[in-house]
Amino acid sequence: MKTLELSVDTDGEGCRADKFLSGCLEDMTRSSVQKLFESENVLINLKKAAKNTKLKVGDMITVTLPEPEELDIKPQNIPLDIVYQDEELLVVNKPKGMVVHPAPGNYDGTLVNALMYHCKGKLSSINGVIRPGIVHRIDKNTSGLLMVAKTDRAHSFLSEQIKEHSFKREYIAVCVGKFKESSGTINAPIGRSKTDRKKMCVTYVNSREAVTHYEVIEEYNGYSLVKFSLETGRTHQIRVHSKYIGHPVLGDDVYSKPFKGLEGQCLHAKLLGFIHPNGSYMEFDSELPEYFIKVLKRIR
């Protein structure tokens, strides 16, 4: 059994206990978190607590997590668009709508299931059984290039580049509205939303540095085609930052509103640049996918 202790700060004040924990325990579903309360595995200030308890600043939450299940993540013969691969790593072009790795209640049809089949299980073990080989992630409804490590050596080497901000990542997005400046930098820390622990927001409380550079490529009537370059890699960073400056990504049904005929945000991870563990610099660029081109035709 594993025990966690969490202190409630001003961001969590007034939140339901189960909602707060769902945001802290990202790999657990809300229903799984509620079961922790039902099995009396959650204490607040060392007392048994109900899932709907309203939290106060300074509350100490003690969570006893059961031993993880032995998960049987099955390889699946799902077609992959592999841009590059060798003995240490591969770069894959993920389609829109594909989840990157399994999660409770969703163990099939993910990129990891497909990678396990294609790589015959030869993936780095650093991120465990759920996320083998996954060095960085992109959202389900974001398409584009993703790095995968086959060896632990490659995984550590690439992760260090992300940590040092030397891993090059460029995205293309359609954003709502016309930008006042044709280029700029958004330097605003990102943390969990106080009102919805599944969402991120710009906040100066319990947040992490987040820096995004942007450049407007083309303008339309009410929309802009924008290139984003990540200096940091926070959850939903581009989506949160673009919303923050008043130009949300088109179709983002979490941070803005849906766009008819488009499932989720119009955001594509177009370019990856990194130093291979063998010392050579590598860079990959992907074409805009069909769904993205259709959106451009509509707004033009």
Q: How far apart are CA 63 and CA 208, in angstroms?
A: 24
Give yes or no for a contact between 251 and 264, defined as CB atoms under 8 angstroms apart.
yes
Instruction: Report the candidate in 47, 46, 49, 48 with the shortest Cα–Cα distance to residue 20.
Output: 49
Q: Of 11, 18, 59, 139, which is the active-site residue?
A: 139
Give yes or no for a contact between 91 and 145, defined as CB atoms under 8 angstroms apart.
yes
Q: For the residues of 133-160, what is the DSSP string, one character each?
A: TBSS---TT-EEEEEEESSHHHHHHHHH
Give yes or no for a contact between 96 and 141, defined as CB atoms under 8 angstroms apart.
yes
* Percent of the chain as helix, strand, coil, to the nearest 5: 20, 30, 50
Scored b (16 or more CB within 10 A) or e, 261-300 reads ebebbbbbbbbbebbebeeeeeebebebbebbeebeeeee
* Catalytic residue status for 252: no
Q: Retrieve residue 11's tokens.
A: 């961001």
Q: How far apart are CA 6 and CA 36, in angstroms?
A: 15
Q: Retrieve residue 102's tokens.
A: 């399994």
Active site residues: 139
